Amino acid sequence: MEIVILVVVIAVIALVAISGLVVTGRRKKAAETQQPGTSESTTEAPTRTVEPKVGEETEAPPEGARRTIEEVGLPEAEEAEAPATAEAATAAPEIETPAPTAGRLVRLRDRLSRSQNSLGKGLLTLLSREHLDEETWEEVEDTLLTADVGVGPTQELVEQLRERVKVLGTRTPDELRGLLREELLKLVGTDLDRTVHTEPGAEAAAVDRPGVVLVVGVNGTGKTTTTGKLARVLVADGKSVVLGAADTFRAAAADQLETWGTRVGARTVRGPEAGDPASVAFDAVKQGTEAGADVVLIDTAGRLHTKTGLMDELGKVKRVVEKQGPVDEVLLVLDATTGQNGLVQARVFAEVVDITGIVLTKLDGTAKGGIVVAVQRELGVPVKLVGLGEGADDLAPFEPEAFVDALVREA
């Protein structure tokens, strides 16, 4: 008898629970698309609710939370009713007009010379000494090394200067300035191709695809900022841009990129938090191609926690994108203030992907501009862009002459 009552009670409870699930189930449908599979098994749930915190460097994001390429298509319904579109209907977002890009480095050179002046001034002061003895040359060497020029290039420069100063005999400050300018320019290099390749390669004529740029680098170096600034540069040049938020490690990263995009009217393709970066990158290129965009810029996560993790992820992003066509430019973003550490990072990234250009950020906050020379030597890849501040238009094409002029110009 008691057993019968017990069975009846359990049955009633079960019925109530099931009907409750059905009702709320409908309401939760949208939410469930964001966390696929949470209802299929409760035993696995705890691993899925572990979400990465900002700045956390896990070796591998929780696999369970990842989506496949097909699944990424799902959130479209949510996107349709996203506040951004609703906003657009009520008040068109204000689209900014970025500053022209020509001659930016010259306009921003004050930022550069304020921090770099010590290098040029220091060298000129030393070279103006009446007697250039061994000790002075050592000081010249130290000055260059302190500015992160690197051992090899420093020795070359000192050798050249010694030779030319000897030939010069008497030295006027102007002569010295000219000489130093020439020699520094040789080190920086004037014949490298510093164009950021945002145009699709020749093969694209048949396929009609956008140019694809991949932005890589360690967290905090300025990747997202640079991607945003670059989008502005391209928009200012009359191009249509689609952004890919392949840093899926934290939602804030995609938001940050989207904010940059919205400001210039560029669309941002994003995926679920902790989703597969490669599928977001794939989607961005796909959507960019369908929309007939000129350029797709892909921002990535830079967790340099383990080299293998990075290799797997970044290598995969590139490979997956390449299923639709080549990547036209791989920009490595380096924080100029990190000095030698930046060079170590550069080396690791170069092993993972073929870097085609370097972006040196935060040159406004360091006197170690010599890193331009060192990193080019290290990777055999030119510095193409420099970041000179946090402002939206503080990204400049790297021009060797303007850079060296800023180093040696009279204060």
Point out which residues bind Mg ion (CB under 5 A). Answer: 223-224, 253
Query: What is each CA distance from 17 to 6, 37, 144, 346, in whole angstroms?
Result: 16, 19, 74, 57
Q: Does 52 bind ligand GDP (CB under 6 A)?
A: no
Partner whose binding site includes residue 225, from ligand GDP, Mg ion, none (CB under 5 to 8 Å by kind): ligand GDP
Partner whose binding site includes residue 117, from ligand GDP, Mg ion, none (CB under 5 to 8 Å by kind): none
223 assigned binding-site residue? yes
299 assigned binding-site residue? yes
Q: Residue number with the shortest CB distance to Mg ion?
A: 224
Q: Please tell me the distance from the alpha carbon of residue 117 to that of residue 114, in angstroms, as a whole number.
A: 6
- Residue 151 Cβ, how far from ligand GDP at the closest point, in Å? 26
Q: Residue number with the shortest CB distance to ligand GDP?
A: 387
Partner whose binding site includes residue 388, from Mg ion, ligand GDP, none (CB under 5 to 8 Å by kind): ligand GDP
With CB under 6 A as the contact rule, which of the stretches 55-63, 73-81, 165-173, 358-366 interacts with ligand GDP?
Answer: 358-366
Q: Please tell me the distance from the alpha carbon of residue 106 to that of residue 406, in angstroms, as a whole number.
A: 8
Per CB under 6 A, the list member of 115, 117, 154, 221 interacting with ligand GDP is: 221
Q: Does 388 bind ligand GDP (CB under 6 A)?
A: yes
Q: Please tell me the distance from the alpha carbon of residue 157 to that of residue 153, in angstroms, as a whole number.
A: 6
Q: Does 217 bind ligand GDP (CB under 6 A)?
A: yes
- Residue 108 Cβ, how far from ligand GDP at the closest point, in Å? 10
219 assigned binding-site residue? yes
Partner whose binding site includes residue 338, from Mg ion, ligand GDP, none (CB under 5 to 8 Å by kind): none
Partner whose binding site includes residue 222, from Mg ion, ligand GDP, none (CB under 5 to 8 Å by kind): ligand GDP
164 assigned binding-site residue? no
Q: Does 368 bind ligand GDP (CB under 6 A)?
A: no
360 assigned binding-site residue? no
Site string for ligand GDP, 55-94 (x = CB under 6 A): ----------------------------------------
190 assigned binding-site residue? no
Partner whose binding site includes residue 390, from Mg ion, ligand GDP, none (CB under 5 to 8 Å by kind): ligand GDP
Size of the site for ligand GDP (CB under 6 A): 18
- Residue 253 Cβ, how far from Mg ion at the closest point, in Å? 5
The secondary structure of the chain, three-state, reads CHHHHHHHHHHHHHHHHHHHHHHHHHHHHHHHHHCCCCCCCCCCHHHHHCCCCCCCCCCCCCHHHCCCHHHHCCCHHHHHCCHHHHHHHHCCCCCCCCCCCCCHHHHCHHHHHHHHHHHHHHHHHHHCCCCCCHHHHHHHHHHHHHCCCCHHHHHHHHHHHHHHHHHHCCCCHHHHHHHHHHHHHHHHCCCCCCCCCCCCCCCHHHHCCCEEEEEECCCCCCHHHHHHHHHHHHHHCCCCEEEEEECCCCHHHHHHHHHHHHHHCCEEECCCCCCCHHHHHHHHHHHHHHCCCCEEEEEECCCCCCHHHHHHHHHHHHHHHCCCCCCCEEEEEEEHHHCHHHHHHHHHHHHHCCCCEEEEECHHHCCCCCHHHHHHHHHCCCEEEEECCCCCCCEEECCHHHHHHHHHCCC
- Are 355 and 213 spatial neighbours (Cβ–Cβ below 8 Å)? no
Cβ atoms within 10 Å, residue 184: 25
Per CB under 6 A, the list member of 115, 338, 361, 366 interacting with ligand GDP is: 361
Partner whose binding site includes residue 66, from Mg ion, ligand GDP, none (CB under 5 to 8 Å by kind): none
Contact set for ligand GDP, span 229-268 (CB under 6 A): none
Partner whose binding site includes residue 361, from Mg ion, ligand GDP, none (CB under 5 to 8 Å by kind): ligand GDP
Q: Is the dihedral of CA 11, 14, 15, 16 positive or negative?
A: positive
Nearest CB to ligand GDP, comparing residues 323 and 347: 347
Per CB under 6 A, the list member of 25, 73, 178, 220 interacting with ligand GDP is: 220
Binding site for ligand GDP (CB under 6 A): 217, 219-225, 302, 361-362, 364-365, 387-390, 394
List, as residue ranges, the binding site. 217-224, 299-303, 361-364
List, as residue ranges, the binding site for GTP. 217-224, 299-303, 361-364
